[in-house]
């Protein structure tokens, strides 16, 4: 399988770096004039897929907004994955999974095995049972050409109590970034093991050059700007994936308006790291 990093680099070159979150919040369903039920979930999610998956490089469904509807919601998520990939977009599942041993392997089988109905191009994961707990997922990525995005420096105000905590080797966040740098060593044009770094963290002394992609939530409606990304990431912005959901999804339910919002978002960040 072609490594995720190689496929991501091609997607950025062809379609741009903007990542659109497909997050069916109950409030957004209401804004679209829809109910809070599975039929509305399906209409919302597949309208977004039809509008944006043919024109952006990466889409990011947030699993929780589908899981809350049970098995029927997961069935919609499976369609989001399949139809987004059929339209040429890479699918990054925002699931933030993390566990040990056989459970970690089961998560790898669910999200990173192409034979799974939820098999995606990449998945977000939590390393806070120790980076080594992600070993089954790392191995699945190497075997199947998938990618991971590991929580490192998130924008939520509670994050620093863990991520800024110091160990013998530096901060917890710095340790995770170092593990990712090692996992990506020698990869060209970029590695498959990325970090999640928020657009609203302010400044950081951490080295964000991990030879891997950087998923950047908090851009757009949540306050992060292009200037913030340039300041925080510097040269590492070359592999940054600014992510936004509300800024695009709020343009619905009209498909043309959704597509135009996605294209505007893409244009705004096209020159990052140049």
Q: Going by C-beta distance under 8 Å and a sequence separation of 6 or more, which residues neighbour residue 27?
A: none
Among 15, 25, 96, 142, the active-site one is 96
Whether residue 195 contacts residue 208, with contact meaning beta carbons closer than 8 Å, is answered with yes
Identify the three-state secondary structure at position 117. Answer: coil
Angle of helix 101-112 versus helix 135-144 axis, rounded to 10: 30
Q: Distance between CA 107 and CA 134 in Å, rounded?
A: 10
Q: Distance between CA 179 and CA 32 in Å, rounded?
A: 42
Whether residue 79 contacts residue 47, with contact meaning beta carbons closer than 8 Å, is answered with no
Q: Distance between CA 251 and CA 80 in Å, rounded?
A: 19
Please, which contacts does 232-236 make with residues 24 or more away whose CB atoms are closer than 8 Å? 232/197, 232/199, 232/201, 232/202, 232/203, 232/204, 232/208, 233/197, 233/208, 233/272, 233/273, 234/208, 235/209, 235/273, 236/208, 236/209, 236/210, 236/273
Annotated catalytic residue 60: no
Q: Distance between CA 138 and CA 192 in Å, rounded?
A: 9
Identify the three-state secondary structure at position 144. Answer: helix
Catalytic (active-site) positions: 96
């Amino acid at each position: 399988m072609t490594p995720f990093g190689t496929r991501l680099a091609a997607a950025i070159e062809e379609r741009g770096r903007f990542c659109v979150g497909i997050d069916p919040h109950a409030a957004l369903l209401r804004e679209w004039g829809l109910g809070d039920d599975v039929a509305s979930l399906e209409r919302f999610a597949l309208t977004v897929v039809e509008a944006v998956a043919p024109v952006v490089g990466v889409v990011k469904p947030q699993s929780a907004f589908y899981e809350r509807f049970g098995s029927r919601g997961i069935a919609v998520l499976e369609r989001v994955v399949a139809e987004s990939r059929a339209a040429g977009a890479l699918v990054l599942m925002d699931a933030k999974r993390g566990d040990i041993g056989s459970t970690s392997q089961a998560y790898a089988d669910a999200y990173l095995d192409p034979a799974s109905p939820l098999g995606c191009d990449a998945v977000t994961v939590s390393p806070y049972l120790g980076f080594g707990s992600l070993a089954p997922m790392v191995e699945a990525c190497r075997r199947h050409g998938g990618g991971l995005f590991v929580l490192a420096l998130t924008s939520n105000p509670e994050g620093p109590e863990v991520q800024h905590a110091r160990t013998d080797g530096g901060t917890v966040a710095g340790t995770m970034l170092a593990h990712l740098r090692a996992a990506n060593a020698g990869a060209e044009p970029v590695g498959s093991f990325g970090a999640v770094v928020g657009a609203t963290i302010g400044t950081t002394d951490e080295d964000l050059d991990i030879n891997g992609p950087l998923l950047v939530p908090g851009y757009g409606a949540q306050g992060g700007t292009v200037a913030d990304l340039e300041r925080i990431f510097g040269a590492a912005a070359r592999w940054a994936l600014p992510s936004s959901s509300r800024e695009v999804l709020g343009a619905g339910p009209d498909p043309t308006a959704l597509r135009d919002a996605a294209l505007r978002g893409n244009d705004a960040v096209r020159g990052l790291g140049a």
